[in-house]
Amino acid sequence: MRLSLRARIVFTLVPLLAILTILGCAGAFLLYRLGGSIDLILRENYASVIAMERLNEALERIDSSFQFALSRSGEDVKEQYDHNWKLYQEALQTEENNITLPGEAELVQELEELTERYLHEGEEFYAHAPGSPERYQLYYGKQGKPRLLGTFNEIKQVAGKILHINQQNMEKASQDSRNLATTSLIWFGACLSMAVALAIILALHTVRFILRPIQAVTQAAQGIIAGNLDQMVPYLSRDELGELARSFNTMARHLRDIRLTHMARLLRAQRTSQASIDSFPDPVLVLDAEARVEMANPAAQRVFGVAPQKPPGQSRNTPLDQSHHGAILPWQPPEALRAPLEAALRGQQPYLPEGFEQAVLQRVDGQEQFFLPRILPIQDPDGNTLGAAVVLQNITRFRLLDEVKSNLVATVSHELKTPLTSVRLAIHLLLEEAVGPLTSKQMELLIDARENAELLLGRVNDLLDLTRLEGGREQLDLLPERPLDLLRVAAETARPKATDKGIVFEVQVDPDLPDVAVDASRIGHVLENLLANAVTYTDRGGRISISASRTDQGVTISVADTGIGIPPEHLPRLFDRFFRVPGQSRGRGTGLGLAIAREIVTAHDGTLTCESEPGTGTVFRLTLPACSEEKLGEQVEAPVGTVVPHIS
């Protein structure tokens, strides 16, 4: 007969539940019997014992009242006598209502008769005057026949008999209860031991029956985890566990089929991916989460001398694919790429530089080549990092063209400056009428020519400054400067124009600011340029504020205005050369001011950023490092700053 796993478990648990039910009922019955015995003792005997003890105590006090009455001829103790008689009668009433033992009724009846006689004699005793000989005779009796004292002793004896038979019955009931408890514990322990033994036998049998197939399935599953899909679980039974074994074997067979299919697809996808990156002329690397090279195209192998690492199961003697010629070497990224690569693998932060200054120099075939890196993290659908893709764009040609352009601009600007200076001098001489008087029309034309010459000379100087800054040929005269002084000089230059346009101008400096190591003239040029732009693009009634505060990076100078703002799509190109925001250009600028300002700040190891919102205003933040020994070669003691809400 085939039994299911559920039936086997039920057949194991039902006897255990039956035994537990029987033991529980037996225990409850035994507890009930013990509780009944104790209740019987309390109900039948304990009340009689307490009543006799109270009766004896009241009897003693009544007898004491007679003795006090005899010894204190001048005092009446009748009040004590009356009070204790009430207690005596209450105790006697309790005993009369609790007659439960054989012979106890006769003793109670005798006690009632003695009590009635004792009460009559006591009333007679107190009927005589205090100190009279009749009281003495009533208490001690006459001719050897005691009255009150004799009755007292008889009552004591009868009450003692009642107390004794109740105490004996309590002791007997207590012994019976102990015997019952001992017998119950013995039988309960024996039954419990048998139940435990039976439960262990049934449990071991059931557990062994269930665990054997489960252990077989577990071992097979561990083999599959290790990569061995040739696992088979024997059919140990025909119940649910047998169905599990058959299902497991079917699953293993399907996994073997799927692995064969997926391996073919994976190999095809890997070859397709490799062929795709091999087609790129620029170096391309695909790294795993541990920065090991998984894929590399021929350009990357030629530039860095690396190739993908072999799989763990591949022999060391297995030749590489033809596209992966050369020795397999662990890739050591250039110093400039280590931090961005770590950020991409650990923090999933892409690295997408744009400027030539972030290019990586590599020597290829004896020649220097520059590569602009792109590092992109690779993630699975759950957001876990799988690795990173590194693409290095060869910009050697563009860098050379940029250098040629910069040199050309510098050369042309330098060559233009000398004749332009001569033209400017000639215009000034003509305006001073050094060579003769001028007509009003001639004067007007010369003034316009002078303005254009000044504008052209300023643009030539800007181009020369930008070329020197980009080429690193500009020498900075770094000295410790107070941020307050820098802001004061810049504000004095920009305030008149702001006042003429009706713009509110404010300056604020936090106290205790450290000095900054700067070239005062260069940083002053940056601040003047930022303030000039703020005045130009802020309408009448607006507000411009320049402030300085301490930050973790050093000292941050902020130039904020309530002008027209900059659209967000133009912010990334704001510091590019010759860039002006379309549709917002005011004045006759060339788009070089902010580019020069950024180069000057970068030369000071600082940063220049911009935040803007159209219709709300713009904020430029210039961050400069605090004065240090590395900047000046000596310790510079920074003076204490002052809050200046308004500089005039």
pLDDT at 317 over 60: no
Contacts of 146 (CB under 8 A, 6+ apart): 140, 153
- Angle at Cα 562 formed by Cα 556 and Cα 563, nearest 5°? 110
Q: What is the pLDDT of residues 532-575, one digit of tens each?
A: 888 888 988 899 999 999 888 889 999 999 988 888 888 888 88
Q: What is the pLDDT of residues 412-437, one digit of tens each?
A: 555 666 677 777 777 877 777 777 78
Question: Can you list the pairs that 288-294 forms with residues at least 24 positions away whose Cβ atoms lie under 8 Å?
Answer: 288/386, 288/387, 289/345, 289/385, 289/386, 289/387, 291/331, 291/333, 291/341, 291/345, 291/388, 292/330, 292/331, 293/330, 293/331, 294/387
Return the pLDDT at 635.
36
Question: Can you list the pairs that 190-193 forms with residues at least 24 positions away whose Cβ atoms lie under 8 Å?
Answer: 191/19, 191/22, 191/23, 191/26, 192/23
117 alpha-carbon distance from chain centroid: 92
pLDDT at 631 over 80: no
- Assigned superfamily of 281-311+326-394: PAS domain (3.30.450.20)
Is beta strand 617-624 parallel, antiparallel or unpaired with respect to 554-561?
antiparallel
Q: How far apart are CA 530 and CA 527, in angstroms?
A: 5
Which H or E run includes 621? strand 617-624
Q: How far apart are CA 607 and CA 598, in angstroms?
A: 8
What's the pLDDT band for 644 if we cut at 50, 70, 90? very low
Nearest to 530 by CA among 490, 564, 476: 490
pLDDT at 4 over 70: no
Return the pLDDT at 87.
92
Contacts of 589 (CB under 8 A, 6+ apart): 580
pLDDT at 499 over 50: yes
Residue-range domain boundaries for the chain: 7-199, 229-279, 281-311+326-394, 401-470, 479-632
Contacts of 222 (CB under 8 A, 6+ apart): none
Minimum mean pLDDT range among 269-278, 532-541, 594-603: 269-278
Helices (H), 471-564: 483-500, 520-536
Which CATH number fits the domain 479-632, given the four candidates 3.30.565.10, 3.40.50.300, 3.40.1390.10, 3.30.420.40? 3.30.565.10
Return the pLDDT at 587.
59
Most confident by average pLDDT, 24-28, 297-301, 403-407, 562-566 = 562-566
DSSP state of 46: I
Return the pLDDT at 5.
62
Mean pLDDT over 352-377 rounds to 79
- Contact (Cβ atoms closer than 8 angstroms) between residue 596 and residue 466: yes
Return the pLDDT at 168.
87
Most confident by average pLDDT, 402-406, 588-592, 605-609 = 605-609
Mean pLDDT over 597-604 rounds to 86
**pLDDT, greater one: 33 or 14:** 14
What's the pLDDT band for 308 if we cut at 50, 70, 90? low
pLDDT at 328 over 50: no
| Positive/negative CA dihedral, 278, 280, 282, 287 | negative
Domain 7-199 has CATH 1.20.120: yes
pLDDT at 283 over 80: yes
Bridge partner list, 375: 351, 390
Q: What is the DSSP string of 537-553?
A: TS-TT-EEEEEEEEETT
**pLDDT, greater one: 640 or 379:** 379
**pLDDT, greater one: 408 or 155:** 155
Rg (CA), the chain: 57
In the chain, pLDDT over 70 holds for what percent of residues? 76
Average pLDDT, the chain: 77
What's the pLDDT band for 192 if we cut at 50, 70, 90? confident
Minimum mean pLDDT range among 75-84, 296-305, 318-327, 566-575: 318-327
Nearest to 66 by CA among 122, 117, 118, 145: 122
- Contact (Cβ atoms closer than 8 angstroms) between residue 99 and residue 105: yes
Mean pLDDT over 3-12 rounds to 66
Return the pLDDT at 636.
35
Minimum mean pLDDT range among 364-368, 391-395, 515-519, 592-596: 364-368
pTM for the model: 0.40
Return the pLDDT at 511.
79
> What is the torsion angle, in degrees rounded to the nearest 10, for the CA atoms of residue 463, residue 467, residue 470 and residue 476?
-90
pLDDT at 122 over 60: yes
pLDDT at 641 over 50: no
What's the pLDDT band for 265 if we cut at 50, 70, 90? confident
